Chain A
Amino acid sequence: MRERLFITTMLLPSMVLLALFYGYPIFDNLRISFTDLSLLGMKKGGNWIGLANYRELFRSGDLGHILFNTFIWLTATSVLLRLLIGLGIALLLNTRALKMLRLASIARFALLIPWATPPIVAVVIWRFLLERNGFVNEALMGLGIVHQPIAFLADMRTVWPSIMAIMLWNTVPLIALSLLSSLQTVPEEYYEAAELDGATNWQMFRFVTLPFLMPALLVLGLMSVFWSFNNFVYVWLATGAGPGTFTNVLATEVYLKAFVDFRLGYSSAIGMVMAAVMGAFGILYLRLVARRQLEETL
């Protein structure tokens, strides 16, 4: 009995906070999404308008564009490139040549720099590099690749690749370091045996390395989906969803509708759509990651 009291005392404060900051808001968000609550009229509250916000959302011409940006650019493209480049760097750092030259440990340290750089600063750095007379334009013009400076973050042809560059610079190192530590768990004998059997480099990668990395790649890929899909700062700070609303994604749309257009009700409806999508991914997360984390930790 005393033990139960002790356990309750230990758990209660954090659980109450979590219930107040996660549990309550998600239900209240659902309620707000059925009202016409405005940021300017919060005292008088909103009127119940049923599914009107959702009807408006699904009929609005912007939704398709926003979903395309969110799923294809912000999520699919960034996750795939992150895994590919991360894998490439991990394999590069794991080569014998670099290890012998002690370059591998220098490169590991170099990976810590973009990793430790906060996203808010990573965006600043790249906005600076991508300025009209910034480093990237100077370099491209110096090499004769372009003749006019490019307004990378204002030109529709370059704005998404630029946002991708920012995200990748900031987030690839974590993937690379994780994969590097998985690579080091592959027993050397496997490669020796494959070499004896006359396997090519590609075959060794395909049939020895990749199977070892697969679990890590799956988990990192899934976690990346969460970081990317929900991410607000990269797009917001790099372009403010612009030029116009060209790079608008679900997260920035939630913010814009609530805090720029003052339509809390409508914004909450968009939030519920995000929550539904994340709920679907949440099931995958539960099966692939959370259960494993639970077994490993408890």
Chain B
Amino acid sequence: MTAATPARYWRDPGAWRLVVILVLAIVTLFVLVYPAIYVLIGSFRPGGGLVSTTETLTLRNYVRIFQAGFGRFIFNSVVICVAATVISTALSVMAAYAFSRFEFRFKRILFMAILFGQVFPWIVLINPLFVAFAAMHLINSYIGMILTYTAFTIPFSVYMLVGYLVTVPKSLDEAAIIDGASRWQVIWLIICPVMLPGFVATATYAFLLCWTEYLFALAFLTQTDLKTLPLGLYQFFGDDYVDWGAVMAASVITTLPVFLLFLPIQGWISPGRIAGAVK
């Protein structure tokens, strides 16, 4: 823009473009963020803010859900998800190490099977697993859920971990083995420290998959005192009445750990890799 036409900026097509872009950006931002903030605020209001017009914020919703036994759901979720994540990550590190370091028969077929596991429709497995679990008394049991979640996070974890492990040069292992280390020592003392961010990111993501899983929990947990957080959250939806205050507070408690864990690691996982793995 030259000094001779100071007042004619509105005729500049670039300026209009900028306005359109800005408006679109603000609308997008609003739609992305506002729903979550609305619920966060609602959780501190009586009835979630739907029925009452009072502006005061209160912790009553939170107190009420804990009085209604929400702590038990959190406890169940923590036990099941932590155990499943630890076992699944350990088994996946072992498998991923083998995939990244050795050539063996059926290697490609096995890895293909793991990739397929990521897109497999879980709903199709529900009936046969239910029948098998019922026969083995694994319905309404921590062990049943831990095994299920371990199995269902392995394909994703192995895929992620192989991706990380192939970036570590094999010469590192070989040097250590020449120095007299065993393979297990190599994994524990060399690979683990080097790959820690990758392991942590993978384990965290596996944990979050379990933390928010609904379908298996719905089918395999029918006893109230064994239910996990996602089931507990939906308990506040009655047949014809919804306790919105409680639902909002429970939603915030469910989501908080997800944000706290997910935001730090999202930089370590490229969206492209997640895209191949999200259910």
Contacts and interface: CB of A to CB of B under 8 A. Distances in A.
15 contacts: A4-B104, A6-B183, A18-B155, A112-B263, A113-B36, A118-B212, A129-B35, A131-B244, A169-B32, A237-B214, A255-B123, A255-B215, A275-B121, A278-B121, A286-B112
Contacts of A251: 121, 123
A227 B278 contact: yes
Interface stretch (B55-63, B158-166, B195-203): B158-166
Contacts of B104: 4, 7
A6 B177 CA distance: 14
A298 B99 contact: yes
B271 A258 contact: no
Given A92-B24, A233-B214, A251-B123, A28 B128 contact: yes
Interface in B131-163: 131-132, 134-135, 147-148, 150-152, 154-155, 158-159, 162-163
B233 A113 contact: no
A29 B128 contact: yes
Contact of B148 (A21, A24, A129): A21
A88 B224 CA distance: 45
A274 B123 contact: yes
A24 B116 CA distance: 15
A110 B28 CA distance: 9
A285 B119 contact: yes
Interface in A1-29: 3-4, 6-7, 9-11, 13-15, 17-18, 20-22, 24-26, 28-29
B152 to A, nearest CB: 7
B35 A125 contact: yes
Given A24-B128, A42-B134, A121-B255, A14 B276 contact: no
Interface in A121-151: 121, 124-129, 131, 133-135
B68 interface: no
B116 A121 contact: no
A254 interface: yes
B189 interface: no
B113 to A, nearest CB: 7
B46 interface: no
Contact of A271 (B21, B107, B116, B124): B124
Contacts of B17: 97
Which of A3, A21, A24, A268 has its CB near the most chain B CB atoms (within 10 A)?
Answer: A21
Interface string B1-23: 00000000000000001100110
Contacts of A129: 35, 38
B29 A268 contact: no
Given A21-B151, A97-B22, A121-B212, 10 more contacts: A11-B98, A15-B110, A112-B263, A116-B266, A125-B38, A128-B247, A131-B244, A174-B278, A258-B127, A294-B108
Given A11-B95, A125-B251, A219-B275, A92 B28 contact: yes
Top 4 A-B residue pairs of the complex, sorted by shortest distance between their CB atoms: A118-B212, A21-B151, A28-B128, A25-B128
Given A26-B125, A290-B112, A17 B151 contact: yes
Interface in A281-298: 282, 285-286, 289-290, 293-294, 296-298
Interface in B198-225: 208, 211-212, 214-215, 218-219
Contacts of A178: 271-272, 275
A131 B50 contact: yes
B123 A174 contact: no
A134 to B, nearest CB: 7
A120 B28 contact: no
A203 interface: no
Given A124-B233, A230-B123, A107 B275 contact: no
Contacts of B99: 298
B259 interface: yes
Which of A28, A121, A237 has its CB near the most chain B CB atoms (within 10 A)?
Answer: A121
Nearest to A45: B131
A241 interface: no
Contacts of A223: 119, 275-276, 278
B25 interface: yes
Contact of A119 (B39, B212, B218): B212
Nearest to B148: A21
B275 A32 contact: no
A98 interface: yes
Contact of A10 (B97, B120, B124, B166): B97
A200 interface: no
Contacts of B278: 174, 223, 227
Contacts of A133: 50-51
Contact of B150 (A17, A89, A119, A177): A17
A245 interface: no
A112 to B, nearest CB: 6
Contact of A13 (B48, B94, B124, B159): B94
